Structure 1
Amino acid sequence: MITGANSGIGKATVKEIAKRGGTVHLVCRNKDRAEEAKKEITTETSNQNVFVHILDMSNPRGIWEFAEQFKKQHRLNVLINNAGCMINKRELTEDGLEKNFATNTLGTYILTTVLLPLLEKEDDPRVITVSSGGMLVQKLNISDLQSENVAFDGTMVYAQNKRQQVVLMEQLAKAHPSIHFSSMHPGWADTPAVRSSMPDFYEKMKNRLRTEAQGADTVVWLAVSAAASRQASGQFFQDRQPVSTHLPLAQTKASLGDEEKLIQALEELSQQFKPR
């Protein structure tokens, strides 16, 4: 299962896994774009086992309902949390959640944790979260998860969410040793998300950006290779190698207590939206 699978690194990942004969579930927000991507993927790979599910990852109730239904109907070996957003002005969802946090962090948490029992039924199950090297500039801040108390900077909020995702994978790896968890930085790739969310960066860097397929390479490797699952669970990868989650002298390490508090806060929020 791959979220945000109709463009960019998500679609490139689907193509590679479909080429290898995998059954792939595309979880997308926009039905037309999802169906268009499915058609392209099935044509290019000759793999008909490509399925579309429409879901907005900023809608926690919708995620709960989708995941509970999926558990009743399907098997799942690998979950790839790829969907994300970088909104540069503070926007709230209809549930009153800051939209970047709702999509990048809470949505990832709910989808992953609700699907854990399904993953645990399989041999060699894996969860991969597409994070970003941008998280290296942020220390986990659990006192203001929804960016209410600072001047809003979409790039920094996104980087904080990406730090939260890395901590989430580390904590889930400790709690669920039968599943292999990882997060990764795809490098800076020429994707629609980069073009729309970071236009100035894109203009400066467009001739040096990776292709979508290059950005997806480590995701695919983490999803399907035997070598990846022999690596310790919970690590952060770049170019198929585990790398540090902190820059030297950056003082971005949080206490274990804060990391555990993040999980507690996400669980409490998650339960507010659980279908009764």
Structure 2
Amino acid sequence: MYLLYTIISALVCFLTLKWMKRRRYYMGVKRLDGKTVLITGGNSGIGKETAVALAQRGARVIIACRDEEKARKALREIKTRSHSMNVLQMDLDLANMRSIREFCKAFLQQEKRLDVLINNAGMPGVLDWTDDNFSMCFGVNHLGHFLLTNLLLPRLKESAPSRVINLTCSSYKYQKLNFQDLNYNLFPFFTYCRSKLANIYFTQELARMTEGRGVTAYAVHPGFVQSSWTGHFSVLYRILAQLVMWMFFVSCEAGAQTVVYCAISDEVIPLSGGYFTDCRPAPLRAFARDSGVARKLWEASERLVHLA
């Protein structure tokens, strides 16, 4: 009897874990020949899997990365797996506003099109600061991508119809923004949650400002993914986190599916400003749909990054 209970319990645990890790896969075969895609943080995790998927469909894929050595290694892998040589790498440090401006200047000189911008790079909640004295998490996850997108917006409009995809997380629901302290950096998890909420507000306001101009924007929660974010923490924390991720989190390939879906599916075109997960639109908490807060964050972000 004990053996039977053990077998049943193990089976229940296995099926529960399998159910929790379920994900829809986007099977669309739409080609992207002649299209240019820019992916921040495309050298690892979801960004790399997205790069492979879009390069396979014929897109010119540019991965923007901070670590040049890791980028070169990822570039070789992406080319091999996608069977495409139309993949490039450019240097970009989202923790440095000067680097972002220099990157955009070089990109606009080099590239005549930008059809899809995927703001994928991100930082977990860490008690650190950017070169411009912003909290690392808020500075990279929101402000860096805010400045990058705005500087590249003219090229997106010229290439219309075009799309902007901002990666966010369902953890947005655990915090609200405090405009008296947007640079909050006390509790790492709360800082991360606020940055992910900022990604959602940014997406909504971008969609409103570009309405009728051929540019659409989408916020994507890829699910909880077995990525390399634990590299910012101690060895013990990494071991424990890797165990939890192995049990409950999905693969990077599965996590990239909703990003790919929003990048190429025609179904999402009328849903600009929406929040997506598991290859479909998902509801947001009421406070995350406040257009007044979204507009206020946009104006505050403009001031913080000195965007005229």
1:181 aligns with 2:217: yes
List gaps (5 residues or longer) in structure 2. 1-37
SS at match of 2:129: coil
Work out whether residues 5 and 11 of structure 1, in 8 Å CA contact, stay in contact via their aligned partners in 2.
yes
Match of 2:75 among 35, 38, 43: 38
Instruction: Give the partner amino acid of 1:105.
Output: H
In 1: Cα distance, 2:78 partner to 2:288 partner? 41
In 2: Cα distance, 1:94 partner to 1:73 partner? 26
Q: What aligned pairs does 1:1-276 form with structure 2 within 5 A after superposition?
A: 1-74=38-111, 75-89=113-127, 91-147=128-184, 152-177=186-211, 178-194=214-230, 196=232, 199=238, 200-229=240-269, 231-246=270-285, 252-253=287-288, 255-271=290-306
In 2: Cα distance, 1:259 partner to 1:2 partner? 24
Cα deviation per residue 1:195-246 (whole Å; 9 max; x = unaligned)? 65674454334222111110000101111122222x3210000011111121
In the superposition, the TM-score normalised over structure 1's length comes to 0.90
Aligned-pair identity in percent equals 33
Q: CA deviation at 1:42?
A: 0.8
Q: What CA RMSD, in Å, does the superposition of the two structures yield over aligned residues?
A: 1.9
Q: CA deviation at 1:97?
A: 1.8
List gaps (5 residues or longer) in structure 1. none
In the superposition, the TM-score normalised over structure 2's length comes to 0.81
Instruction: Give the partner amino acid of 2:275.
Output: F
Change (3 A) 1:254 1:21: closer
In 1: Cα distance, 2:70 partner to 2:55 partner? 18
Q: CA deviation at 1:105?
A: 0.8
In 1: Cα distance, 2:59 partner to 2:290 partner? 40
In 2: Cα distance, 1:135 partner to 1:255 partner? 14
Cα deviation per residue 1:79-119 (whole Å; 9 max; x = unaligned)? 00000001432x22232222111111110100111111101
In 2: Cα distance, 1:92 partner to 1:22 partner? 35
Work out whether residues 95 and 132 of structure 2, in 8 Å CA contact, stay in contact via their aligned partners in 1.
no
In 2: Cα distance, 1:146 partner to 1:57 partner? 16
In 2: Cα distance, 1:196 partner to 1:93 partner? 15
Q: How many residues are treated as equivalent by the alignment?
A: 264
SS at match of 1:142: coil
SS at match of 1:2: strand
Change (3 A) 1:187 1:56: same
Indicate the structure (1 or 2) with the bigger Cα radius of gyration: 2
SS at match of 1:93: coil
